[in-house]
Structure 1
Amino acid sequence: MNWQQLVEQVRYSGRYATSQEAEEVLRAVLPVLGAQVTGEERCELAAALPAEAATPLTRAIPHPRPLTAPAFVDAVAARLGCTGPQARWASATVLTLLGDHLGTDVTGRLLDALPRGYALLFGRAELTAAA
């Protein structure tokens, strides 16, 4: 997948009116995600993306502790200058597409490395072990 294909997938999936709007969403979500993911998962994620998407992801300085899923959405909202529901939509659109592109194994490792609550943003069920 190249950058333009990724932008168009975000535009279509997120029902954005223009490619420019979809690109803005990608450029807001990717660095926030990059600051949450470290190690092998970050390398795998970057390798699976076109260079235009991998660059903002890998340039982000990793947080010492990953943000909770609601704080992740808030960070995206701050970057986009939008409401929480709009940021949740933007985050879920991008992360679901990335999860589908990466496949179950890599997405599972990403989710294992992140705090609870991210699964829904990746379009996955949040399963909990029975007590």
Structure 2
Amino acid sequence: MTLRWEAFLEEIRERGEYDTREESERAARVVLALLGAHLVGDERAQLAARLPEALSLVLLNPLQAAEPLSPDRFVRATAAWIEGATEQTALWDVGAVLSTVADAAGDELMERVLLQLPPGYELLFGRPAPGQRP
């Protein structure tokens, strides 16, 4: 394991206020597997390149989505994949993971990633559009 892996999971653990690294890793794997199903091409590859290797593989080998999920359905799907999760806790998980991903990606790549997603994902990434209330 690299320091990058440890540092990435620690950032998610802090943002999600998880008790253990295992909780942050579980959230990261579920959220990135769902996110990967929504991204294609260069944006997915470039985003994966900015993540620790184990998580980049999750993003590049996603769960299959029949259609793009709205932000609300993305949160509900996350809740369904995390044992014992509710929509409230899943929203917390999604925010902890995706805000960490957004910081790793940087503004320019995040703009291109958000163009591939249905409207409203900016808030899940912790990046409200100008004039949009969090």
TM normalised by structure 1 equals: 0.91
Matched ranges for 1:71-90 at <5 A: 71-81=73-83, 82-90=85-93
Tell me the C-alpha RMSD between the 2 structures. 1.5
State the Cα distance separating 1:101 from its structure 2 match.
Answer: 1.2
Structure 2 counterpart of 1:26, which letter? Answer: A
Paired residues, number: 128
Q: Secondary structure at the match of 1:119?
A: helix
Asked if 2 retains the 8 angstrom alpha-carbon contact of 1:117 and 1:126, the reply is: no
Structure 1 position 26 matched with structure 2 position 28: yes
State the Cα distance separating 1:39 from its structure 2 match.
Answer: 1.1
Identity percentage over the alignment?
Answer: 38
Asked if 1 retains the 8 angstrom alpha-carbon contact of 2:43 and 2:112, the reply is: yes
Deviation per residue, 1:92-114 (Å, 9 max, x gap)? 11101111111100011111110
Q: CA–CA distance in 2 between the matches of 1:112 and 1:75?
A: 21
Matched ranges for 1:1-131 at <5 A: 2-61=4-63, 63=65, 65-81=67-83, 82-127=85-130
Q: Secondary structure at the match of 1:29?
A: helix
* Structure 2: stretches of 5+ with no match in the other structure: none
Asked if 2 retains the 8 angstrom alpha-carbon contact of 1:37 and 1:110, the reply is: yes
Asked if 2 retains the 8 angstrom alpha-carbon contact of 1:77 and 1:83, the reply is: yes
Distance 1:105 1:99, change over 3 A: same
Distance 1:23 1:117, change over 3 A: same
- Structure 1 ranges of 4+ moved more than 3 A: 61-65
Deviation per residue, 1:40-67 (Å, 9 max, x gap)? 1101111111111011111115535321
